[in-house]
Amino acid sequence: VGSPTLTEEVAKAAAELIKNQRRGIYNFTSSGKCSWYGFAEKIFEITGLTANLNPVKSSDISRPAVRPEYSVLDCSKFKRDTNFMIQRWDKSLRTFLLSLNLY
C-alpha cells in the first residue's frame, strides 16, 4: 500500500518549498492510498478498458529488494509549512491518463 504520485506534482511541491524558502527534509506524496491492485483497477476504470485482474500478495512476488507492505509517507510537515493543495492520487491519475489522449 502506497500513495502513487505524479512527478509533475512532486516538481510543483518542490517549487512551493523553494518559493517559501523552506529547507530540510520533507516527505511529499499525493493524498490517499491504494495497493498496486487498486492502482491497476483505477487505471482500467478511468480508461474504460477491461482486463481480468487477479490480486496477489506482495510476498508471493519475487523482487530484487524487500519492499515494505505499507509505504504511505507522513506529509504533515509539508502541509504545515506550505499552502500547497495536495491532490488525491486518483484525481492526479485521471488527469494524467486524460492528457495522454489514448482512449
User: Among 4, 73, 67, 74, which Cα is nearest to 37's?
Assistant: 4
- What pLDDT is recorded for position 61? 83
Is 14:43 a contact under the CB 8 Å cutoff? no
How open is the CA angle 60-69-80, to the nearest 5 degrees? 160
pLDDT at position 94 is 95
Per-residue pLDDT of the chain (103 residues; tens, 9 = 90+): 999 999 999 999 999 999 999 999 999 999 999 999 999 999 999 999 999 999 988 888 888 888 888 999 999 999 999 989 999 999 999 999 999 987 6
Terminal C-alpha separation, the chain: 27
For residue 12 the three cell numbers come to 510543483
Whole-structure pTM value: 0.85
